[in-house]
């Protein structure tokens, strides 16, 4: 059996490792995607006051501290049985919307997007934000930096710090915003809407109008018929901060919705011997292995899944894009959804990049909606907890998937147990399937394994915007992409590499 | 000369906090010229590049995992010396790419960037403490930072 190793994935933060085993005919026999796990977080938390969790958990990961801050604050609200006042919820969601704009923009222009904008066969050195600037124009670089700057400014105004916000506490926030700050936030939000529309236009021009790219999005190698998960509001519109979790089957049927405290009825975790990371799956459907279909509990939690699990977007411009998205992919079949979009579903995984830009637009519009809400400058931004603390669950949609925090405390509010299901982990099973499917499609007996080919396998899973780096950000001495092909005896017969000195 | 000493790291991830601890040592124990700012951050790539805008010189202190040097080794590097560093906490590009982007966009970047890196032993277990080898190296790294100042 031959063995191909991709280690680590370029431009994926963290230290993921893909191993592809080939059979004697050179066909893909099995693929394994392994991730080293950060250890001991639960042990680290037990014995600490629950109100520390919003500032502790946002240290788990430097990528989405805002998501952990919000999920932890909501879980701490639940532990103390306190409902934050409307202004506090709106301020939290406003911060979160600005964060989404920054995060999604960074992914599109610096991480996932270059594969499309530059093309999967472009040299590695060009598939980055510099290549994007070279191709699209200098002004786009300035816009990306500006989008990040605006997002960081809002996070700092409401969250108290540019990185690692620290103002969310059980029952609300430690501070509000002034009218002057509100005006500044509104102005930046309006700019963000323009930026999101510009980004969608760019996607239209470069990706959707290029038949090669469109064919690749529609390719079966990048298609999975799994369940989809996403948070929705009372109208079944996408919401990132609050609501119920909607689950939609591969045929588009909504099989149910759950509130945060019900997550143990819906989600279970599967342990496999070859990896430390657990595979979450839908408990009501059951674990049938790494396969898709209605009988398999494998689900997806990404921008694409959020669009599939909802019936629409809560803001007008994003709703227009939402409809265009489904009309494009469902083609003639979209006519049946003219009154409601319930029941529709898109399985093309690479469409996630488009879905992410639709969410970018929604986040920007929501930013302005909240910034112009009369209550947003209210000084009623905290309800003092009066109940005895017990147990609570908080859920938000992190950019990389549904994020669940579950805390148990004693009667003093001291943590006795912690359970987290983080965004990317939701997608672990589906990511593993994506890698195998792409490898099976692209690697055959006679095919020479080229860099572009390997990158297409990586593309399959970069669309998930995965992040396993969580906290570690030490500088590694090198970041090699090494591919070794082994024969049946384990002897290396060929080596391919990039980024290796 | 407007100078920034920037400790990078995660305060609750063992040796990854080395850069933050060095910054703390410098702030508490050493007398510096008022033109020198000492700060902590978490970021690499774009975020780190954005943080450095407007300074003349920046000394970054961070943990490094080369696997080549013994834990606690202190290395003095230029950004180009670690061409494939990926600064994994960020949803981000690597630092050399971010610096090229800054140059392309004509952003005011420091003329001089040095990296003081401390070889880490454990960056996978949550802890507020560094390993013994890295703890012993912290003062040495702080001195290396001061020696780099111009």
Strands A475-476 and B57-65: parallel
Residues A359 and A337 reside in one and the same domain? no
Q: Is the pLDDT of residue B133 over 90?
A: yes
Residues A210 and A355 reside in one and the same domain? yes
Q: Taking residues A74-82, report their average pLDDT.
A: 98
Residues A352 and A215 reside in one and the same domain? yes
Q: Is the pLDDT of residue A302 over 50?
A: yes
B97 contacts on A by Cβ (under 8 Å): 128-130
B76 contacts on A by Cβ (under 8 Å): none
Whether A473 and B16 lie within 8 Å, measured CB to CB: yes
pLDDT on residue A41: 80
- Quote the tokens at residue A224: 């999975």
- Cβ(A429)–Cβ(A93) below 8 Å: no
pLDDT on residue B53: 95
Residue A158 is assigned to a structural domain of this protein: yes
Whether A129 and B93 lie within 8 Å, measured CB to CB: yes
B6 contacts on A by Cβ (under 8 Å): none
Residue A77 is assigned to a structural domain of this protein: no
A104 inside 8 A of chain B by CB: no
Whether B16 and A474 lie within 8 Å, measured CB to CB: yes
Q: Is the pLDDT of residue B44 over 50?
A: yes
**Residues forming beta bridges with residue B112, ordered by sequence position:** B57
Residues A109 and A182 reside in one and the same domain? yes
DSSP H helical ranges for B4-131:
18-29, 45-52, 95-104
Residue percentage of chain A with pLDDT more than 70 = 85
* Domain termination site, one of A300, A329, A347: A347
Residue A430 is assigned to a structural domain of this protein: no
Residue A492 is assigned to a structural domain of this protein: yes
Residue A419 is assigned to a structural domain of this protein: no
Residues A204 and A164 reside in one and the same domain? yes
Q: Is the pLDDT of residue A494 over 60?
A: no
Q: Is the pLDDT of residue A476 over 50?
A: no
Whether B126 and A478 lie within 8 Å, measured CB to CB: no
| DSSP notation for A299-362 | EE-SHHHHHHHSSB-SSHHHHHHHHHHHHHHHGGGGGGGSS--TT----BGGGHHHHHHHHHHH
Cβ-Cβ contacts under 8 Å between A and B: the total is 155
Contacts (Cβ under 8 Å, ≥6 apart) of A139: none
pLDDT on residue A275: 72
| Tally of structural domains, chain A | 3
A478 inside 8 A of chain B by CB: yes
Residues A363 and A254 reside in one and the same domain? no
- Nearest CB neighbour to A130, from listed B42, B87, B104: B104
Residues A292, A348: Cα–Cα separation, whole Å: 13
Mutate which of B7, B13, B72, B75 to disrupt the A interface (most A C-beta within 10 Å)? B13
> Which residue of chain B comes nearest to A141, CA vs CA?
B105
CA B139 and chain centroid, separation = 15
> What 8-state DSSP symbol labels residue A243?
S
Residues A211 and A249 reside in one and the same domain? no
Residue A460 is assigned to a structural domain of this protein: yes
Map tokens 């982990």 to a residue: A425
A148 inside 8 A of chain B by CB: yes
Residues A273 and A342 reside in one and the same domain? yes
Residues A171 and A314 reside in one and the same domain? no
Residues A129 and A208 reside in one and the same domain? yes
Residue A67 is assigned to a structural domain of this protein: no
Whether A59 and B44 lie within 8 Å, measured CB to CB: no
* B144/A421: higher pLDDT: B144
CATH value at residue A165? 1.10.645.10
Residues A339 and A287 reside in one and the same domain? yes
* A392/A439: higher pLDDT: A392
List the single range of A2-11, A118-127, A208-217 with lowest mean pLDDT.
Answer: A2-11
Residues 8-47 of B with CB under 8 A from A: 8-13, 15-16, 41-44, 46-47
Q: Taking residues A120-147, report their average pLDDT.
A: 86
Residue A102 is assigned to a structural domain of this protein: yes
Whether B89 and A469 lie within 8 Å, measured CB to CB: yes
Residues A296, A309: Cα–Cα separation, whole Å: 17
- Quote the tokens at residue A201: 């236009």
| DSSP notation for B28-44 | HH----TTEEEEEE---
Q: Containing domain of residue A330, as a range?
A: 224-347
Q: Which domains does chain B have, with CATH numbers?
A: 3-148 (3.40.50.1450)
Global pTM value: 0.90
Residues A352 and A341 reside in one and the same domain? no
List the single range of A234-238, A381-385, B3-7, B82-86 with lowest mean pLDDT.
Answer: B82-86
Mutate which of B91, B96, B107, B141 to disrupt the A interface (most A C-beta within 10 Å)? B91
B86 inside 8 A of chain A by CB: yes
- Nearest CB neighbour to A148, from listed B46, B89, B123: B46
């Amino acid at each position: 059996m031959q063995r191909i190793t991709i280690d680590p994935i370029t431009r994926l933060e963290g230290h993921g490792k893909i191993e592809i085993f080939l059979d004697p005919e050179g066909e893909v026999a099995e693929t394994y995607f392994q991730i080293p796990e950060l250890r001991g977080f639960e042990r680290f938390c037990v014995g600490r006051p629950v109100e520390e969790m919003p500032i502790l958990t946002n240290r788990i990961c430097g990528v989405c501290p805002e998501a952990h801050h919000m999920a932890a604050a909501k879980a701490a609200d639940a532990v103390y049985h306190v409902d934050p006042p409307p202004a506090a919820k709106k301020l939290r969601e406003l911060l979160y919307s600005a964060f989404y704009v920054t995060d999604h923009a960074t992914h599109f222009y610096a991480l996932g997007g270059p594969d499309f904008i530059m093309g999967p066969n472009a040299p590695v050195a060009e598939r980055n934000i510099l290549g994007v600037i070279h191709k699209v124009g200098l002004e786009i670089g300035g816009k990306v930096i500006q989008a990040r700057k605006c997002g960081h400014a809002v996070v700092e105004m409401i969250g108290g710090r540019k990185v690692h916000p620290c103002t969310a506490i059980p029952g609300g926030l430690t501070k509000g915003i002034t009218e002057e700050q509100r005006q500044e936030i509104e102005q930046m939000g309006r700019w963000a809407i323009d930026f999101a529309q510009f980004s969608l236009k760019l996607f239209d021009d470069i990706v959707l109008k290029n038949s090669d790219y469109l064919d690749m999005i529609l390719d079966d190698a990048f298609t999975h018929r799994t369940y989809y998960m996403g948070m929705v509001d009372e109208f079944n519109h996408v919401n990132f901060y609050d609501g119920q979790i909607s689950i939609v089957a591969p045929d588009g049927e909504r099989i149910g919705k759950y509130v945060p405290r019900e997550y143990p009825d819906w989600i279970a975790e599967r342990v496999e011997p070859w990896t430390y990371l657990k595979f979450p799956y839908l408990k009501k459907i059951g674990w049938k292995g790494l396969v898709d279909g209605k009988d398999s509990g494998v689900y997806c939690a990404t921008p694409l899944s959020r669009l599939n699990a909802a019936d629409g977007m809560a803001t007008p411009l994003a709703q227009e894009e939402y409809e265009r998205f489904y009309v494009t992919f469902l083609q003639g079949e979209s006519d049946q959804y003219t009154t409601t979009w319930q029941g529709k579903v898109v399985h093309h995984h690479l469409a996630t990049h488009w879905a992410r830009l639709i969410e970018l637009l929604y986040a920007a519009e929501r930013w302005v909606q909240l910034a112009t809400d009369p209550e947003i400058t209210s000084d009623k931004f905290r309800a003092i907890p009066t109940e005895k603390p017990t147990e609570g669950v908080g859920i938000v949609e992190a950019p990389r998937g549904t994020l669940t925090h579950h805390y148990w405390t004693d009667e003093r509010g001291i943590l006795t147990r912690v359970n987290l299901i983080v965004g990317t982990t939701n997608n672990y099973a589906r990511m593993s399937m994506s890698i195998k499917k792409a490898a099976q499609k692209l690697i055959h007996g006679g095919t020479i394994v080229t860099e572009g080919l390997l990158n297409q396998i990586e593309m399959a899973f970069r669309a998930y915007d995965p992040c396993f780096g969580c906290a570690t950000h030490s500088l590694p001495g090198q970041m090699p992409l090494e591919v070794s092909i082994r024969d049946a005896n384990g002897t290396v017969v060929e080596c391919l590499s990039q980024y290796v000195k | 000369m407007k100078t920034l000493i920037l400790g990078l790291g995660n305060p609750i991830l063992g040796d990854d906090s080395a850069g933050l601890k060095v910054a703390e040592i410098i702030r508490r124990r050493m007398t510096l010229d008022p033109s020198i700012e000492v700060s902590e951050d978490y970021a690499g790539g774009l975020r780190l590049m954005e943080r450095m805008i407007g300074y003349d010189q920046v000394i970054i202190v961070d943990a490094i995992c080369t696997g080549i040097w013994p834990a606690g080794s202190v290395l003095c590097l230029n950004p180009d010396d670690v061409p494939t560093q990926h600064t994994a906490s960020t949803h981000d590009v690597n630092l050399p790419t971010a610096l090229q982007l800054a140059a392309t966009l004509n952003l005011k970047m420091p003329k001089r960037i040095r990296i003081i890196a401390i070889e880490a032993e454990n960056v996978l277990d949550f802890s507020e403490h560094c390993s013994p080898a890295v703890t012993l190296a912290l003062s040495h790294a702080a001195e290396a930072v001061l020696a780099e100042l111009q």
